Every structure is written in C-alpha cells, then in structure tokens.
Amino acid sequence: MGKKIIGSFFTLLCFFSFLTPVYAANEQTLGDLRSTYNELLRQKQENDSLSAEAKAEIARKEAAILQAETEIHAAEESMMQAEEDIAASNERIEEMKGTASEVLLYLQQMQGTNAYVEYVSGATSMTDMIMRIAAVEQLSDQIYRTIDDLEAEIQRNEELKVELQKRTEELEAQAAEYQRVIEANYDKLEEYDRYALDIDNQVEVARQRLETYEKMCSETVGSTADSVVLTSCSNVPVNGGWLKPLNYGIITSTIGYRWGEYHNALDIGGASPFEGTPIYAAAAGVVSGMVYEYECGGNMLYIDVNVGGKAYTTYYYHLLSFNVSLGDVVTQDTVIGYVGGYSTSKKHGGYDGCTTGAHLHFGVANGYYDPKVGIKRANVITPPGFPNSSGWAFYSRTQMYNG
C-alpha cells in the first residue's frame, strides 16, 4: 500500500511538474531590464559626449582653416604687389639706363667738341669750375646709384616672393591637414550619429519594455522586484502553434546575407495594391516595443510571445501604421498594423531608407528581445511554417510549408 502511495505521489509530482512552467536560470528578469536600460543610458551619454567633442574639434579646425585662407589670401596679394614692384623697378632701371647712356653720350660728345671744356671753362672762379665738373660727375654717379638701389629692391622683392611662396605652401599644407582632421571627425560624427540613432532607439525600446513589464508584474504577481522573472508575470496564454501574419503573400527575400549585410527576416510581398494590407500577430503575446519612422525599418513592432512553452520575439518592420499600443496583449486574431514600405520609403518621399516597395519584414528570434544587443543572428530562426526560399506563396493564415 505504501509503495502504491509513493508511486502515486511521484506520478502526481511529474504531472504537475509538466503543467507548471519551469523558468530557466537565464530567463530575463525585471532586474535585467533595469540593468539594460541603465547601461544604454550610460552609452547614450558617452555617445553624446563624443559627438559634442567631434563637433567642437570640427569648429576649431574650420576656424583655423579660415584663418589660414585669410593669410594665404594676404600672402598672394603681397606676392602680386611684389611682382608689380619688380616690374616697376625693372621699368625704372631701363629708364635710368637710358638716361645714363644719354648723359654719357652727351659727355663724350661734349668732350669731343669742346662743349665740355666751354662749360667748365665758363666758370667764373676755380670753385665754380670744380663745382661744374663735380655736378656732371654727380649726375652720372646718381644715375648709377639709383640703378643699384633699384636692382637691390628687385632682389629684395624676389626674395620676398620666394618667402611668400614658401609661406603659402606651408599654409596650404596646414589647411589640408586641418581638412583631414575635419573629415576624420566628420567620419566619427557620422559613426556616432548613426549609433546615436541606434542608441536612442535602443534606449526608448528598453524604457518601453521596462515600463510594460513593471506594470504587468505589479498587476499579476504584485511585485516589481529585480528578481521577478518576466514570464512569471505575463498574462499571455501559451500558444499551441503559429499562424501566418498575413492572409496571403509571397516570399520576396530570405534570411541570410545579401549585398554584404545580414537580412534577419523574411520579406513578404503581394499583388498590388499591397500597401495597407492588415497584419496579424503570428502568435499571441505582449507588445513590448514600438519604434516610429526609423531610418531603416520605418515603423517597427516587437511582440514577446510564448509558443509551446518557449519564449520568442516576433518583429514586424516597414509598417504603414500601428493598430496596437505598447503593453497590449494581442491574440492571433489581432490586427497589429498595416503593410507599408512604398509610400514610407525614401525613394517615394518617405523616411525609410531600407525599402523601395510595399512588403512586410517578418522575423522570429529565440528569446525575448534585448534592445542592448538587438536581434542577434544566432537567435534568428526561419518563422515556423515558412521555407527560407524566395517565391513560396501562401493563400491563408493556416497554410503551412511542409518541405
């Protein structure tokens, strides 16, 4: 009898163990959500600081380039003035040489025709004669001194041109280096800004998830302690299976690498007009993240689900609009949004740079979404009931791919 009781006890224990959810040690808790949110906030602050630093460095180097360009302009003007001065000096030298030649020729003629003697001998005194002789010689000497001064001025201007050219080259090299620094900082800024968009998105989704589960756990288990396991306070029923997110469609792009980047979901298109087609939840769950008009993905929706006792994240991108709110508990009959991808694309005047036509980007990943790491490639699976191959069409939500 005792053995029967013990046997029955173990039978019941196994039965209730099968019915009662057993939470794995690595399941997410409220503490995990808080830790993720705080870490992302820290990363955002660091990113903002680096971005501000890059912008400040760009401003400094742009001011330095402006100063260098001002100095280059002044040097170029000085070189032009030096060239004008050289030209004027050369012209003056030629004039003085001509004058000197005329004076010498005149003196030679005077000396040969006694005019010089007459000029000198016409002096009224010895002093007057000496002065007359000296005046002729001084006139000649003055001409040659002037020529020497002009040639020296030309030499100085030539040296100034060389000096200014050297300075101009130094300034141009300096400006080029500043430009390289600016471009490097723009590269950093672009990197930071791209990351800032990501980090802003991650921070927002982390906040959404934390607030959603805090509210849910407070209502269901009466606690928001760090140790509370998310699945323990979820009021989402366990799904027995999956349904298609659309009433019909055809796979237009698969999971895997394309154009050098990893594509983490199936793209599902359909006959025109496909935009505006209702999208259903592929499995019942909690709306745990909503991103509006993101630059690559547009309106994006994340739903935490439990299928067959296992946690998954379902995600839907390029939505025309949402039909649910954050924290909503959805069923497989809930219209969660509408297909976008055409009017929302940048190509057609929208905001989404990662689409050119109407389609749904539909994905499933193991585990609940962690905004800090995003959709990890290792966790992505082919949505159940679908093949990972282009061209496969379905015509009802219950149609399954059988291989």
CATH of the domain at 380: 2.70.70.10
Assigned domain for 209 exists: no
Assigned domain for 260 exists: yes
Specify the number of domains making up the chain. 2
Domain closes at, from 192, 207, 223: 192
Statement to judge: residues 181 and 258 lie in one domain: no
Assigned domain for 341 exists: yes
Assigned domain for 203 exists: no
Beta-carbon count within 10 A of 316 CB:
25
* Full domain range(s) for residue 166: 52-192
Statement to judge: residues 396 and 293 lie in one domain: yes
Statement to judge: residues 174 and 279 lie in one domain: no
CATH of the domain at 109: 1.10.287
Statement to judge: residues 175 and 267 lie in one domain: no
Domain closes at, from 133, 166, 192: 192
Give the distance from CA 81 to its chain's centroid. 46
**Global model pTM greater than 0.95:** no
Q: State how far the alpha carbon of 119 is from the alpha carbons of 94, 102, 126, 193, in Å.
A: 28, 17, 13, 92
Assigned domain for 6 exists: no
Give the distance from CA 62 to its chain's centroid. 19
Assigned domain for 112 exists: yes
Is the preceding peptide bond at 273 cis, omega within 30 degrees of 0?
A: yes
pLDDT in tens, the chain (403 residues): 444 433 443 333 333 333 333 333 357 899 999 998 898 888 888 877 877 887 787 788 788 778 878 888 887 888 788 788 778 777 777 776 666 666 655 555 555 544 455 555 555 555 555 555 566 666 667 777 777 777 777 788 788 778 878 887 887 887 778 777 767 766 655 444 332 346 788 888 899 999 999 998 999 999 999 999 988 887 777 898 999 999 999 999 999 887 767 888 999 999 889 999 999 999 999 999 999 999 888 999 999 999 988 999 999 999 999 999 999 999 999 999 999 999 999 999 999 988 999 999 999 999 988 887 778 888 899 999 999 999 999 999 999 998 7
Statement to judge: residues 187 and 240 lie in one domain: no
Rounded CA-CA distance 313/283 in Å is 10
Statement to judge: residues 163 and 261 lie in one domain: no
Assigned domain for 143 exists: yes
Statement to judge: residues 155 and 62 lie in one domain: yes
Domain closes at, from 137, 165, 192: 192
